C-alpha cells in the first residue's frame, strides 16, 4: 500500500475510534485513572514507575515459567481459536496457557484495576491501551517485523518500540442481493479487473431496483467507520492532525459528504437509517435492498441466517480511489508485571507464525493482520478473498483509525461523542450545511487536542 502523507514514522493522528464495528476506545478512563487513581496509589506507597515499555529481557524471569495467563474476550464465540493454539503450545513447549475470558464491557476496567494491584496477566488480547498499564507492556517491534505484520496498523513510539500488535483485522465491504441482480438480468463487478464508480453503482442498482420492485438501492451502517471508507473512495484522507496540533481535510471531503447526503433521499438510501437508527442489516435481510455497505463481521451471520435469497460480497465503488477502512479484532500485548514478559512475547511470536496464525484465522473466521497471508476458510471463501484484495489495494490511510486510536489513548486525549458521525447526521437532516459540518468536525478535534 502506498505511504500516507504526513509524518514519516508515526502515522498522523486523530480521534480514538472503534477497533471494529461495535467497539469504542474508553479514552476518558485513561486520563482519569492515570492522573487520579494511580497517582494516589503511588504517592501512598512511594513506588517509582519503571520506564515506559519494557524490553522484555531486563526484568523477566530467567527461568521458563510453567504457566502463562492470557486475558481475552469472546474466544469461545469466535471458534475457540486461541484455546486451540494454547493446547498446541503446551504440547510443543510444556508451558500451560491459562485463558481467562473477560466480558468485553468490563475489560478495560479490569485491566486498570489489575495494573493498580500489580496483578496484570502475562498476555492479553485487549480492546485498548490505557496509560495506567502502558509501562508494563513489552516491546514487540521485532515480532511485528519478523511476522510481517501490516506496517500501517503499527504505532511505534519515539524510541521505535511497538507495544501492541493487531490480533486480526476487520474491514468495510459491500454486500449485494445476488438474487435481485439475477432477476433483473444485470451484472456487477466480480473481479479486480472490473471496477465501478459510485455514479455507475447508483445507475446499476437503480436498474435492479426498478426491474425487481426492491425498495432501496443501498443501506449503510450509521457509523463513522463506514463513512471513512466512503470518504477515502472519493480521494479524501479524512481529518488529519498537523504537527502543530490543528486539524484539516482536503477538498474531496466536501465532495464526498455532498454525495452521501444526496444519496439519503428515501429512494437510493432510506433516511431512517442515519436519522432514526433503523437497522440496516435487518433491511438488507428483508430482501428489499439491492446492496449493503457494512463489513466482514456480517459474514457468519449472513451465512447462517439469510435463506430467502442469495447474497454475495462485491468490490466496492471507487471515485476515483480504491479503499476500505480497517479496524482490528483487538491488540495482542505482552505484560512484564510478573516477570514473564519474555515468555509472553515468545508465545505471541509463536502464535503469529505462519502455521499457527493461519489455523487461528480459520477457526476464528478472522482476516489476518499479516501481509499476503492466504487462509482457507470453512465458509464464504470468495468473500474473504475479496476483503483481502480490497485491503491489499487500499492506501495506508485505510489503517488510520487503528493507529489514531492508539495514539489518542497514549496521549490521554478525549472527545465527546463522534464528531464525524454526529455532525454528518446534522448535515443529512438539513440542520446545517456542508461547510459548517466540516468546520464543526475540525473545531471539535482541535479542541480535544488543545485540552489534552
Give the mean model confidence (pLDDT) for residues 338-366: 97
Same domain membership, residue 280 and residue 152 = no
Same domain membership, residue 317 and residue 337 = no
**CA 159 to CA 177: how far, in whole Å?**
49
Same domain membership, residue 259 and residue 353 = no
Q: What pLDDT is recorded for position 324?
A: 98
Grid coordinates given for 248? 484539516
How does pLDDT run across 367-388, given as a tens digit for each residue? 999 988 999 999 999 999 999 9
Are the beta carbons of 442 and 247 closer than 8 angstroms? Answer: yes
| Residue among 274, 371, 337 nearest 112 (CA) | 337
**pTM, 2 dp:** 0.85
Residue 392 lies in a domain: no
Grid coordinates given for 98? 491459562
**Residue ranges making up the domain that contains 311:** 170-326+415-450
Q: What pLDDT is recorded for position 452?
A: 73
**CA 312 to CA 86: how far, in whole Å?**
34
Q: Is the pLDDT of residue 28 over 60?
A: no
Same domain membership, residue 151 and residue 67 = yes
Beta strands in 281-396 (DSSP E): 289-295, 311-314, 326-328, 331-334
Q: What pLDDT is recorded for position 451?
A: 86
Q: How confident is the model at residue 75 (pLDDT cuts 50, 70, 90)?
A: confident
Whole-number mean pLDDT of the chain? Answer: 87
Q: Are strands 289-295 and 247-248 parallel, antiparallel or unpaired?
A: unpaired
Residue 3 lies in a domain: no
Are the beta carbons of 127 and 136 closer than 8 angstroms? Answer: no
Q: How confident is the model at residue 60 (pLDDT cuts 50, 70, 90)?
A: low
| Residue among 300, 296, 274, 301 nearest 216 (CA) | 274
Same domain membership, residue 175 and residue 153 = no
325 vs 134, higher pLDDT: 325
Same domain membership, residue 174 and residue 156 = no
Q: What pLDDT is recorded for position 56?
A: 42
Residue 395 lies in a domain: no
Question: What is Dmax (Cα atoms) for the chain?
Answer: 75
Question: 3-class SS at 333?
Answer: strand
Question: What CATH number is associated with residue 178?
Answer: 3.40.190.10
Same domain membership, residue 152 and residue 205 = no
Q: How confident is the model at residue 412 (pLDDT cuts 50, 70, 90)?
A: confident
Are the beta carbons of 326 and 169 closer than 8 angstroms? Answer: yes
Same domain membership, residue 124 and residue 67 = yes
**CA 239 to CA 237: how far, in whole Å?**
7
Q: What pLDDT is recorded for position 196?
A: 97
82 vs 34, higher pLDDT: 82
Other C-beta atoms within 10 Å of 44: how many?
Answer: 8
Burial bucket for residue 113 (CB in 10 Å: 0-12, 13-18, 19+) = middle
Same domain membership, residue 38 and residue 154 = yes
Q: What pLDDT is recorded for position 444?
A: 96
49 vs 313, higher pLDDT: 313
Are the beta carbons of 16 and 404 closer than 8 angstroms? Answer: yes
Q: Is the pLDDT of residue 63 over 70?
A: yes
Contacts 24+ apart (CB under 8 A), 180-188: 180/208, 180/209, 180/212, 180/214, 180/287, 180/290, 180/309, 181/208, 181/290, 182/310, 183/211, 183/212, 184/208, 184/211, 184/212, 185/211, 186/211, 188/314
Same domain membership, residue 318 and residue 335 = no
Residue 52 lies in a domain: yes
Same domain membership, residue 334 and residue 244 = no
Q: What pLDDT is recorded for position 18?
A: 37
Residue 14 lies in a domain: no
| Count of domains forming the chain | 2
Residue 406 lies in a domain: no
Are the beta carbons of 130 and 51 closer than 8 angstroms? Answer: no
Q: What pLDDT is recorded for position 15?
A: 32
Q: What pLDDT is recorded for position 61?
A: 60
How does pLDDT run across 173-204, given as a tens digit for each residue? 999 999 999 999 999 999 999 999 999 999 99
Angle at 61 between CA 59 and CA 65, to 5 degrees: 145
The dihedral region occupied by 83, where left means phi > 0, alpha psi between -120 and 50, and beta the remainder, is alpha
Q: What pLDDT is recorded for position 361?
A: 97
**CA 82 to CA 260: how far, in whole Å?**
40
Alpha carbon 11 to its chain centroid, in Å, reads: 15
Same domain membership, residue 338 and residue 199 = no
Q: Is the pLDDT of residue 65 over 70?
A: yes
**CA 25 to CA 418: how far, in whole Å?**
11
| DSSP assignments along 287-309, one per residue | T-EEEEEEEGGGHHHHHHH--SS
8 vs 291, higher pLDDT: 291
Amino acid at each position: 500500500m502506498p505511504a500516507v502523507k504526513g509524518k514519516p514514522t508515526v502515522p498522523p493522528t486523530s480521534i480514538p475510534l472503534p477497533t471494529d464495528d461495535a467497539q469504542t476506545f474508553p479514552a476518558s478512563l485513561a486520563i482519569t485513572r492515570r492522573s487520579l487513581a494511580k497517582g494516589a496509589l503511588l504517592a501512598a506507597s512511594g513506588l517509582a514507575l519503571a520506564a515506559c515499555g519494557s524490553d522484555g529481557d531486563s526484568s523477566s524471569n530467567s527461568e521458563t515459567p510453567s504457566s502463562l495467563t492470557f486475558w481475552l474476550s469472546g474466544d469461545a464465540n469466535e471458534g475457540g481459536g486461541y484455546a486451540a493454539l494454547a493446547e498446541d503450545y503446551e504440547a510443543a513447549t510444556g508451558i500451560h496457557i491459562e485463558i481467562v475470558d473477560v466480558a468485553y464491557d468490563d475489560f478495560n476496567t479490569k485491566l486498570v484495576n489489575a495494573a493498580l494491584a500489580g496483578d496484570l496477566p502475562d498476555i492479553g488480547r485487549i480492546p485498548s491501551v490505557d496509560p495506567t498499564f502502558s509501562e508494563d507492556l513489552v516491546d514487540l517491534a521485532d515480532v511485528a517485523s519478523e511476522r510481517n505484520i501490516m506496517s500501517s496498523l503499527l504505532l511505534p513510539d519515539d524510541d521505535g518500540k511497538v507495544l501492541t500488535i493487531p490480533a486480526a483485522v476487520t474491514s468495510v465491504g459491500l454486500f449485494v442481493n445476488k438474487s435481485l441482480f439475477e432477476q433483473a438480468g444485470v451484472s456487477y463487478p466480480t473481479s479486480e479487473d472490473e471496477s465501478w464508480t459510485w455514479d455507475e453503482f447508483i445507475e446499476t442498482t437503480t436498474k435492479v431496483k426498478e426491474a425487481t420492485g426492491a425498495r432501496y438501492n443501498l443501506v449503510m451502517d450509521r457509523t463513522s467507520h463506514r463513512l471513512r471508507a466512503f470518504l477515502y473512495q472519493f480521494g479524501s484522507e479524512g481529518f488529519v492532525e498537523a504537527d502543530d496540533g490543528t486539524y484539516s481535510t482536503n477538498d474531496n471531503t466536501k465532495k464526498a459528504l455532498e454525495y452521501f447526503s444526496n444519496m439519503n433521499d428515501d429512494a437510493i438510501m432510506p433516511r431512517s437509517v442515519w436519522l432514526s437508527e433503523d437497522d440496516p442489516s435487518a433491511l438488507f435481510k428483508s430482501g428489499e435492498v439491492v446492496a449493503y455497505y457494512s463489513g466482514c463481521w456480517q459474514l457468519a451471520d449472513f451465512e447462517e441466517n439469510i435463506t430467502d435469497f442469495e447474497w454475495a460480497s462485491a468490490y466496492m465503488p471507487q471515485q476515483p480511489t480504491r479503499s476500505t477502512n480497517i479496524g482490528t479484532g483487538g491488540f495482542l500485548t505482552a505484560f512484564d508485571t510478573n516477570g514473564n514478559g519474555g515468555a509472553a512475547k515468545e508465545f505471541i511470536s509463536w502464535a503469529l507464525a505462519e502455521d499457527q496464525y493461519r489455523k487461528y484465522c480459520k477457526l476464528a473466521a478472522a482476516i489476518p493482520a499479516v501481509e499476503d497471508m492466504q487462509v482457507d476458510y470453512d465458509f464464504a471463501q470468495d468473500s474473504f478473498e475479496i476483503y483481502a484484495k480490497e485491503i491489499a489495494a487500499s492506501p495506508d490511510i485505510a489503517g488510520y483509525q487503528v493507529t489514531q486510536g492508539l495514539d489518542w489513548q497514549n496521549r490521554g486525549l478525549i472527545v465527546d461523542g463522534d464528531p464525524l458521525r454526529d455532525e454528518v447526521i446534522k448535515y443529512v437532516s438539513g440542520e446545517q450545511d456542508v461547510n459548517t459540518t466540516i468546520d464543526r468536525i475540525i473545531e471539535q478535534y482541535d479542541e480535544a487536542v488543545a485540552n489534552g
